[in-house]
Structure 1
Amino acid sequence: MGTKVMDETSAHVRDGFPLSKSTSNFPLNRNSFYEHKHSQLSTMAGTIPFWIAFIAILSVFLQGVKVKATTFEITNKCPYTVWAAALPGGGKQLAQGQSWTIQPDAGTSTGRIWGRTGCSFDGSGRGTCQSGDCNGTLNCQGYGSAPATLVEYSLDQLQNLDYYDISLVDGFNVPLSITPTSTNPNCKGIITCLSDINSQCPNELKVSGGCLSAEVKYNTVDHCCTGANCNQTLYSRFFKEQCPQAYSYAKDDTNSTFVCPSGTDYKIVFCGKSDPIFALDLYITINNEE
């Protein structure tokens, strides 16, 4: 069937990455929590001294203060040019060794970052890409087309945590990794997907610039994981064996969703990992704090 555009109707997004996968664990969401507290305080104000009610209201207000904007530093270590894409964020051409920094707002709930290959743009930023193309624009305003290796994230969500993953649900085009900069012992989510999947891709999934997922290729109930009893397929197992930490199908949550405290910054690297000295220092710091 060829490639399909990765939009909000895709199975992975429909499953609600990653908020709806996490909110089921909490009886009360953040907004209803604050509404409930404000209701309680309204009742209290009529029966207790004003200054006590004021302190309680101030406490609730401070709980809702957002953390600083998160920084994503995106670096290309591939021996070829990658046109980085981000939503929100736009896009940037990165030669080998170049970096690009974006700062999505705290509370961004459905962000994603990916790489594009084989691109050609004119002076106005219009053109095409072999993989990961986003409606023919350098400065992406929408999701890209498959295949594309994705970093997905939700910032400052329930319990003031960031949720993030690497997803192969829409296929693979560029190896990448994501490393959080936090030394908090609750943040151990260095994720990599550095296998050369393109060279090992099953023939029926191969396309120019990458390797399609079976979900994109065949668009069936089993491959899209829309049935009540959804399991891995032969194709999703192939992707999981290549990149064990990445999503290989829409409901592959158990070992594929990672969390860090809100306010953490992240380093994303195409075709490699973050600076090895930084990664070693981070590992030592985290383990010394345990």
Structure 2
Amino acid sequence: MSLTTPPEFTMISIGSVVLLLLGAAAKSSARTFTVYNGCPFTIWPAMFTDLNAGTAVPNHATGWQANAYTSVSFTVPDNWTAGRIWARRNCNFATNPGPNSCLDGGCNGGLQCDPHTGTGVPPASLAEWSLSTADGNDYYDVSLVDGYNLPIAITNNVGCPLANCPVDLGPNCPTPLKGPFDSTGFPVGCKSACDANLSGNPSNSPNCCSGSHNTPATCPSSGVQYYSYFKQNCPRSYVYAYDESSGTALWTCPASKKADYTLTFCPPPS
């Protein structure tokens, strides 16, 4: 800068540099998430953040239409907490918009899920994240705790572990859990034993880990009906409330790696 430059111009330039640096820092603290529909049919992905756990929310709609073999990418705050993404099947929002607009996975709010109550109707395969937690890790998992409705996989760009359920669990789903069914009679879901209410009392159930079964000690996987069907087919998924003891349910990635994540529905067989 020349000595003849007016002082006020110098101040504005310095301020602009500061603003640019702050903007770059904010951008670097965000992650990029990509959601890819690898299915040969349209799905309606949905996203929910538990606002009781954290206030940071992704820079994207809470629900959208994804045609076959299409993807979207968006930014997610580095401190996104208790977030989940899933897909809805066989939706029609023109009539009865809300949780019953889709054959499974529907949410309050219609196409875009309500930010406070739009958690999704089981059965639904969930992808879950909490980023940059207090111990310095990202935590993520593929959860079948609410049952299954599509094969899914979580991958990343920094070499951290794969979380997935790459198998279509619908056709061979145990009869008491199978459904719902589409217009051709094909099962587009497989309920959890809890959601199917096999024990008859969801408030005190070994399948739901509720009531007197609400601790890891009183709710072992051996007491959850059809646990082995889900875990044997999808060993890298979170199958019931206390499945962390399996060692292949909940995955971590050092937050310092600033991983970007890709969620694929209907991933190629692993």
Q: TM-score, normalised by structure 2?
A: 0.71
Matches of 1:257 and 1:100 in 2, distance apart? 25
1:235 to 219, 226, 233: 226
Alignment of 1:127-138 (within 5 A): 128-138=101-111
2:250 aligned residue: 257
1:222 corresponds in structure 2 to 206
- Deviation string for 1:109-133 (max 9, x for gaps)? 100010100001239x767011100
* Residues 52-71 of structure 1: pairs in structure 2 closer than 5 A: 68-71=29-32
Alignment of 1:64-213 (within 5 A): 68-88=29-49, 89=60, 90-122=62-94, 128-141=101-114, 142-183=118-159, 187=160, 189-208=161-180, 209-213=188-192
Render the CA deviation track for 1:148-202: whole Å, top value 9, x for unaligned: 000011011023211000000100001011101114xxx2x11221111000111
Quote the Cα distance in structure 1 between the aligned partners of 2:233 and 2:39.
19
Deviation at 1:207, TM superposition (A): 2.0
* Paired-residue identity, %: 38
Is 1:269 aligned to 2:230, yes or no? no
Give distance in 1, aligned partners of 2:28 and 2:229. 39
Moved over 6 A (4+): none
- How far does residue 87 in structure 1 lie from its aligned partner after superposition? 1.4
Higher relative contact order (CA 8 A, sep 6+): 1
1:166 partner SS = strand
Deviation at 1:105, TM superposition (A): 1.9
- Kindly indicate whether the alpha-carbon contact (under 8 Å) linking 1:205 and 1:214 is maintained by their aligned counterparts in 2: yes
- Is there any run of 5+ residues in structure 2 with no aligned partner, and where? 1-25, 50-59, 181-187
Q: What SS class does the counterpart of residue 117 from structure 1 fall into?
A: strand
Distance 2:174 2:196 in 1: 12
2:264 and 2:125 mapped to 1: Cα distance? 12
Q: Take 1:114 and 1:180, find their aligned partners in 2: how far apart are those partners?
A: 17
Distance in structure 2 (CA, Å) of the matches to 1:110 and 1:273:
27
Q: How far did 1:66 drift?
A: 11
Aligned-pair distance for 1:72? 1.3
Q: Do 2:43 and 2:65's aligned partners in 1 also have CA atoms closer than 8 Å?
A: yes
SS in 1 for 2:150: coil
Is contact 2:81-2:130 (8 Å) kept?
yes
Superposed CA offset, 1:80-131 (max 9, x none): 11111111440111111111223232212100010100001239x7670111
Residue type of the alignment partner of 2:133: Q
- Aligned partners of 2:68 and 2:90: how far apart in 1? 14
What is the alpha-carbon distance in structure 1 between the residues aligned to residue 135 and residue 232 of structure 2? 32
Code of the aligned partner of 2:228: R
Q: Give the Cα–Cα distance (whole angstroms) in 1 for the partners of residues 67 and 171 of structure 2.
A: 22
**AA matched with 1:256:** A
Alpha-carbon offset, residue 273 of structure 1: 4.8
Q: CA RMSD in A?
A: 2.4
C-alpha displacement of 1:136 = 4.8
Whole-angstrom distance in 2 between the partners of 1:273 and 1:67: 31
